[in-house]
Amino acid sequence: MTRKKSIIDYIGLISIVIVIVSFISKIVTSFIITQQLPAGGYPELLQNYVDGMVIHSIDSIMILISAVFIIPATIGVFSVFYSKIKPEVKNWLLLPTITSIVSSLLIFSLIIPKLIIIFQIAPDYVVAIEPSKSLLLTKFENWIFYINIFQVIAYVLLFTIGTGSFSILSFKYQLARETTTWLGIFAAFLGLGQIGVFIPSNFGIVLIFMASIASILYFFWLGSIIFVIRQKIKEDKFEEIELPEKLTH
């Protein structure tokens, strides 16, 4: 049983590292896009998808990788917290685990329409003439609207409900370091800023900025969980060594 737990811990550990690396790569690609392909509106954005097809594709792939590995990373967090929390409240860990996994599946599914936009809608729009051009632009605007809705749902599930619940349980039952816990709590609160995409004002911009900070805090929180998992692995190894010694006496 200990060996199975150890495998889950190692998979969780490796997955967290992959998620963090892909997130850092996403920051780099986003910076390149912002600097080299600034967009003032939807028509210009569609043109930029064509001009920067490679970098936009890489950017989407980084999100895809993060979404895939958030699942085993979340299971790793669940496993280490499950081993530390009181038996009577273990079931409470299911809420943040399930919401985080659902969130990652949503993020994964949102990459599909994004890639269709990059490889189909954008190229068709660039070469189209009226009235087809306007129809494609309207189609793109509709797609973006629904993508934004599900994106907000996904990240609120991940940051606010998932990470927030993990952190509240961690705070109450001392499952991780205090710094780790507060990183998660702040990420949960600031994650509500995702709704800023629907507020066309300066306040909306502030909320979006809050959400961007939440994503950074989330990955710092996830990174700090590495130390918690490593500590659990050390404790499990110590138990494996200690148990045979007890049996011989």
Q: pLDDT per residue over 153-200, tens digit each?
A: 999 999 999 999 999 999 888 888 888 899 999 999 999 988 888 888
**18: number of Cβ within 10 Å:** 17
Q: Which residues of the chain have pLDDT under 70?
A: 1-5, 39, 237-249
Closest CA to 59 of 88, 34, 25, 92: 25
Output the pTM of the full model: 0.87
Q: What is the pLDDT of residue 130?
A: 83
In whole angstroms, what is the distance from residue 21 CA to residue 66 CA? 9
Per-residue burial over 81-103, b if 16 or more Cβ lie within 10 Å, else e, is: bbebbeeeeeebbeebbebbbbb
DSSP type of residue 196: G
- Which tens digit of pLDDT belongs to each residue from 86-96? 888 889 999 99
Domain ranges across the chain: 2-248
